Structure 1
Amino acid sequence: VSIMEESSSTSTQKVVAVVGGGLVGALNACFLAKRGFSVEVFEAREDIRKAQIVKGRSINLALSHRGRQALKHVGMEEKIVSQGIPMHARMIHSLGGKQSPIPYGKKGQYILSVDRANLNKELLSEAEKYSNMKLNFDHKLKDWSAETGLMTFDRSDGSKQQIRADLIVGCDGAFSAIRKQFLRCGRFDYSQTYIPHGYMELTMPPVNGEFAMKPNYLHIWPRNTFMMIALPNLDKTFTCTLFMPFEEFEKITTGDEVIEFFQKQFPDSIPLIGVDALKRDYFRLPGQAMVSVKCCPYHIGDKCVLMGDAAHAVVPFYGQGMNAGFEDCIVFDEIMDQFSEDFSVVLPEYSRVRVPDDHAIADLAMYNYIEVRFIQISTLTMRILINFSTTQTVPFVSLYCFQVTFTRTRYHEAVKRWHWQNKVINCGLLFSVTGGVLGASYVLIKNPPSVNKLITPAEEMWNRLTAVRTP
């Protein structure tokens, strides 16, 4: 077994090791290299830019303001935006086939549908442009020390590599190898929650070379206990993702049962996806699990920090997983500026600032997991109209559209404002109803109804008869 060791002691330039070459790891490497550190990225998989099949999650991504600001900081925003498709609204598909758009924000505001694999490739290529950057693939982390910063990596050919870093940045996903070391430390809180729903991806091909549905929308088929969504791709396809309890996935065992299920729940999608494709693709992979991860703190001493899914994996129902991970990078960079790159101060401050926000977006994602499935077009439209109309006159702001999606308002502050706003709206509705009841009561007291108006038909007939007999 060959072992190579590199030490940061031979140079005054600080060595930063980024473990994980996914979206957040690749972007973070750009941030750190831009600062002048000697950066090495270690990824357990092969280079996805050369791989014929890209392994890993493939749920399409919705890029919004937070993610765009992080990309802008490293000069990548325009390039990535040009490779995305704007989605100006949700398009709700009813069981009867009616389509109803619900805008995300004000006119001109939109989120972007972006391809996960392509975005990852672009970020790796950008990182590789820095002269103080080295990308290492096929490097699986075996062990690391929080005291010395020494890391050991295994390779598929049986060899090992060691590196000593001044800072280790764990960006290696929801099942982080870096985070395992945190579990050995005292006063480290950790929880993970699997939801009972899984997901399955299907493809809606183009029709005559064009999109099968209107492309500038995030299409949603809400069906109470489950739902399907569809996001547009540059090749004119839609990636459809079916979210459903695992027990429901398991009930469907034949191609005919697949078609029967879709005819009952998503009839308008069958001719667009195709009967044969549904029968084939439904059984290509089983339903995939989704997990929510929370932990605190995000750092150990001045040697290691967690970011992205390694720190806060979230379920995908709020469209903020990638955006929150990208914002981690820019928040860390801002704190580095604030404390002059002093890791002993930067890391604990990053935990203090970022943990409440990441926990808040994890909670919001779980909340939306329940809400979106039960979405009713009438009630949702009414709520959005109330939010939108109040934003034009008083400082109310729709949580999703204006704070989470289109600003960098801290997630936990957005949640506080949302709760406050809901209380005010509910109180307003209560006062309106109470005022209406009191007003009606006052009118009745001041203008009591005529006794004649309260007599029975029989009494009225008797009065008429007796009136005729009177001289």
Structure 2
Amino acid sequence: MEPAEIKSEKKKVVAVVGGGLVGALNACFFAKRGFDVQVYESREDIRTAKVVKGRSINLALSHRGRSALKHVGLEEKIVSQGIPMHARMIHSLNGKQSPIPYGKKGQFILSVDRANLNKQLLTEAETYPNTKLNFDHKLQDWNAETGAMTFVRADGTKQQILADLIVGCDGAFSSIRKQFLRRSRFNYSQTYIPHGYMELTMPPRDGDFAMKPNYLHIWPRNTFMMIALPNLDKTFTCTLFMPFENFEEITTGDEVLEFFQKYFPDAIPLIGVEALKCDYFRLPAQAMVSVKCSPYHIADKCVLMGDAAHAVVPFYGQGMNAGFEDCIVFDEIMDQFNDDLSEVLPEYTRVRVPDDHAIADLAMYNYIEMRAHVNSKWFLFRKYVDNFLHFLMPRTIVPLYTMVTFTRTRYHQAVERWQWQNKVINRGLFFCGTGAVLGGSYLLFKNPPNVDKIHIDVEKMWNRLLSTGTS
């Protein structure tokens, strides 16, 4: 062989900063592509830690997250460790419970344990021989031009490494993103909502769940709410969301009990009086922040993903799912441009920014829906109409929640389609009128026509209406 033909096949080094959910999953994606992957996490290894540090709101895994897990062969394993939730269960003040299905029969979201999922992802990443996990490594500084990084270890010593690509997955208060803030033409905003959250535990009752397990339970109280998600150990994690000033007004155990007797009376015997008084003061109410920024990359050296790029409030259950979808979108773009990072990173920013900004806005909107709109008869009626039209015309009318949760329709396109559908459906309801709907329902009941013909005729009618509703 001629010397000129000898080539170095040294693998490119990808440094993933952050060993949380998105960082650990990203390590699997990059390892599968053959990169030399180094994961750097400031905390200790949560798989061996006696106490797992960090805050947690129960996670709801849906289609986008499952699609990403499927790409690394983990979907079935993670799904088997989750609890299906087929509907919201609305708890009225008088104790009445009313389910609102999430989608069609068979569609559900999964309640999964954050810490367990993180452990599973880290263990999976470690199965790749070209991946190394580095814990107790706190990022001190990095250079966007050279890819040089300096980490401080737990013992105070420093380690310097050089990476071909730096992937910032280090959360809403990202150290990687701080470097972006020093550069011109970088847009950044963060918004703290005036509401905080507090987690309480509902223990098992007689060795079983205290409430029906296959639901996301919601106590909507207009300006605040409580939710409860089931866990594998037969507990429920209850999360109380309300304005900070309301939290601050409650200073004693008796005031906690009085507050729950007024707004969540059915939850008191399920949580337990003494447990409620104790848990409420275990930790102060935690803040929730929404972060938007753009662009997500610097040249071909660094890219932001997950909360580092787009922290969202938890009310659409899409924070983790959006972060996991970041991984799969980046992987798809890598396929498109044959791993050419100079092409991949700008394209990733172009594709992903409008979607992440859209889900950030939707998450803000959904808090109002969850704590207030679900009490509205008009809201429930519109849910029924949307689902009925989706049944008749599954390709033409698709509920927003279905697009966001059960498909990979781009978030910003889902919002645009939802706004357009709302305009058209409201116009249709105005013209049709309740009388016409009832009359038509009676005729259909007395003389049921061919079902396929219903789909065709109704779709033609709505398509005519849609064509007039786009202006």
Q: TM-score, normalised by structure 1?
A: 0.89
Determine the structure 1 residue equivalent to 2:400. Answer: 399
The 3 A distance-change label for structure 1 pair 54 and 218 is same
AA of the residue aligned to 2:303: V
Determine the structure 2 residue equivalent to 1:266. Answer: 264
Runs of 4+ residues over 6 Å off in structure 1 = none
State the distance in 1 between where 2:379 and 2:93 align.
Answer: 16
Determine the structure 2 residue equivalent to 1:18. Answer: 16
Determine the structure 2 residue equivalent to 1:67. Answer: 65
**Which of 305-314 and 48-57 deviates more?**
48-57
AA of the residue aligned to 1:414: A
AA of the residue aligned to 1:418: W
Contact 1:194 1:290 in 2 (8 A): yes
Matched, 1:133 2:134: no
Determine the structure 2 residue equivalent to 1:439. Answer: none
State the distance in 2 between where 1:192 and 1:145 align.
Answer: 24
User: What does 1:75-114 correspond to in 2, within 5 Å?
Assistant: 75-114=73-112
Q: Quote the offset at 1:156 in angstroms.
A: 2.1
AA of the residue aligned to 1:183: L
SS at match of 1:392: helix
Determine the structure 1 residue equivalent to 2:213. Answer: 215
AA of the residue aligned to 2:40: F
State the distance in 1 between where 2:143 and 2:104 align.
Answer: 50
Q: Quote the offset at 1:380 in angstroms.
A: 2.9
Matched, 1:431 2:431: yes
State the distance in 2 between where 1:61 and 1:35 align.
Answer: 28
The one of 227, 244, 250 aligned to 1:252: 250
Q: 1:180-203, CA deviations, whole angstroms, 9 ceiling, x for partnerless residues? A: 000011110000000000000000
State the distance in 1 between where 2:130 and 2:279 align.
Answer: 44
Q: Quote the offset at 1:383 in angstroms.
A: 1.4
State the distance in 1 between where 2:296 and 2:405 align.
Answer: 24
Determine the structure 2 residue equivalent to 1:460. Answer: none
State the distance in 1 between where 2:264 and 2:283 align.
Answer: 20
Contact 1:399 1:414 in 2 (8 A): yes
Determine the structure 1 residue equivalent to 2:409. Answer: 409
Matched, 1:334 2:367: no
SS at match of 1:293: strand
SS at match of 2:406: coil
State the distance in 2 between where 1:107 and 1:147 align.
Answer: 52
Determine the structure 1 residue equivalent to 2:381. Answer: 382
State the distance in 1 between where 2:295 and 2:386 align.
Answer: 35
SS at match of 1:16: strand
SS at match of 1:215: coil
AA of the residue aligned to 2:71: H
Q: Quote the offset at 1:430 in angstroms.
A: 2.7
Q: 1:204-224, CA deviations, whole angstroms, 9 ceiling, x for partnerless residues? A: 000010000000000000001
The one of 293, 298, 304 aligned to 1:295: 293
State the distance in 1 between where 2:295 and 2:42 align.
Answer: 25
State the distance in 2 between where 1:25 and 1:130 align.
Answer: 15
User: What does 1:149-168 correspond to in 2, within 5 Å?
Assistant: 149-168=147-166
State the distance in 1 between where 2:67 and 2:106 align.
Answer: 18
Q: 1:372-408, CA deviations, whole angstroms, 9 ceiling, x for partnerless residues? A: 11121533321111111111223100000x2111000
Contact 1:92 1:377 in 2 (8 A): no
SS at match of 2:234: coil
Determine the structure 2 residue equivalent to 1:447. Answer: none
Contact 1:44 1:137 in 2 (8 A): yes
Q: Quote the offset at 1:241 in angstroms.
A: 0.2
Determine the structure 1 residue equivalent to 2:456. Answer: none
Q: 1:66-92, CA deviations, whole angstroms, 9 ceiling, x for partnerless residues? A: 000000000000000000000000000
SS at match of 1:221: strand
**Which of 116-125 and 426-435 deviates more?**
426-435
User: What does 1:313-352 correspond to in 2, within 5 Å?
Assistant: 313-352=311-350
Q: CA RMSD in A?
A: 1.4
AA of the residue aligned to 2:57: I
User: What does 1:367-378 correspond to in 2, within 5 Å?
Assistant: 367-374=365-372, 375-376=374-375, 378=377
State the distance in 2 between where 1:435 and 1:245 align.
Answer: 43
State the distance in 2 between where 1:121 and 1:275 align.
Answer: 34
State the distance in 1 between where 2:362 and 2:55 align.
Answer: 21
Q: 1:303-329, CA deviations, whole angstroms, 9 ceiling, x for partnerless residues? A: 000000000000000000000000000
State the distance in 2 between where 1:68 and 1:215 align.
Answer: 21
State the distance in 2 between where 1:253 and 1:171 align.
Answer: 37
Gaps of 5+ in 2: 1-7, 437-471
State the distance in 2 between where 1:208 and 1:433 align.
Answer: 51
Determine the structure 2 residue equivalent to 1:5. Answer: none
SS at match of 1:288: coil
The one of 223, 226, 245 aligned to 1:225: 223
Count how many residue pairs are aligned between Structure 1 and Structure 2. 427
Determine the structure 2 residue equivalent to 1:451. Answer: none
AA of the residue aligned to 2:397: F
Q: Quote the offset at 1:261 in angstroms.
A: 0.2
Q: 1:110-148, CA deviations, whole angstroms, 9 ceiling, x for partnerless residues? A: 000000000000000000000000000000000000000
State the distance in 1 between where 2:60 and 2:382 align.
Answer: 23
Q: Quote the offset at 1:54 in angstroms.
A: 0.8
The 3 A distance-change label for structure 1 pair 91 and 435 is closer
Q: Quote the offset at 1:351 in angstroms.
A: 0.2
Determine the structure 2 residue equivalent to 1:275. Answer: 273
State the distance in 2 between where 1:80 and 1:381 align.
Answer: 33
SS at match of 2:339: coil
**Which of 391-400 and 87-96 deviates more?**
391-400
Determine the structure 1 residue equivalent to 2:353. Answer: 355
The 3 A distance-change label for structure 1 pair 58 and 435 is closer
State the distance in 2 between where 1:112 and 1:409 align.
Answer: 19
State the distance in 2 between where 1:75 and 1:57 align.
Answer: 28
Determine the structure 1 residue equivalent to 2:141. Answer: 143
Determine the structure 1 residue equivalent to 2:53. Answer: 55
User: What does 1:302-317 correspond to in 2, within 5 Å?
Assistant: 302-317=300-315
The 3 A distance-change label for structure 1 pair 98 and 434 is closer
